[in-house]
Amino acid sequence: ETGVTQTPRHLVMGMTNKKSLKCEQHLGHNAMYWYKQSAKKPLELMFVYSLEERVENNSVPSRFSPECPNSSHLFLHLHTLQPEDSALYLCASSQDRPPHTGELFFGEGSRLTVL
């Protein structure tokens, strides 16, 4: 496998469910990110991890809980979500610690629908 892979690609959940999104990067990068992409809105940065430490949390509600067990894996744990949380959740990685000038490598995304 190469690049950044995300699972599941599609997820439908009720507001009381607990689920997790998984991201794995095979690029040897040091930084990993979660972005939210909603219809007709810019990509919103949610969390940044650098060398397995969370270095940024952009005022994301506590119903989203990230976890980075090692430099290759990143999770986003979801619980008691709201319908407005329905979006495409993109994982990305980059070589450098933030701030960086290198490019971001994105996964294919996990399309989340909250009923």
Partner 1 sequence: GQNIDQPTEMTATEGAIVQINCTYQTSGFNGLFWYQQHAGEAPTFLSYNVLDGLEEKGRFSSFLSRSKGYSYLLLKELQMKDSASYLCAVGAYGQNFVFGPGTRLSVLP
Task: Tell me which residue has tokens 């930084």.
Answer: 31
Candidates 14-22, 36-44, 65-73, 74-82: pick the segment binding partner 1 (CB under 8 A). Answer: 36-44
Which residue number, 17 or 104, has a Cβ lying nearer to partner 1? 104
Residue 34 contacts partner 1 per CB under 8 A: no
Instruction: Pick from 32, 48, 76, 87 the residue near partner 1 by CB under 8 A.
Output: 48
Dihedral (Cα; 14, 16, 17, 18), 10-degree rounding: 140
- In contact, 105 and 92? CB cutoff 8 Å: yes
Q: Which of 19, 45, 80, 86 binds partner 1 (CB under 8 A)?
A: 45
**Residues in 96-115 at the binding interface with partner 1, rule: CB under 8 A:** 98-101, 103-109
Nearest Cα neighbor of 30 from 104, 89, 88 is 104
Q: Which of 28, 42, 69, 83 binds partner 1 (CB under 8 A)?
A: 42
Burial of 36 (0-12, 13-18, 19+ CB in 10 A): buried
Residues contacting partner 1: total by CB under 8 A = 21
The values of phi and psi at residue 84, to 5°, are -70, -10
Residue type, 7: T
Which residues of this protein are in contact with partner 1, per CB under 8 A? 4, 33, 40-43, 45, 48, 56, 90, 98-101, 103-109
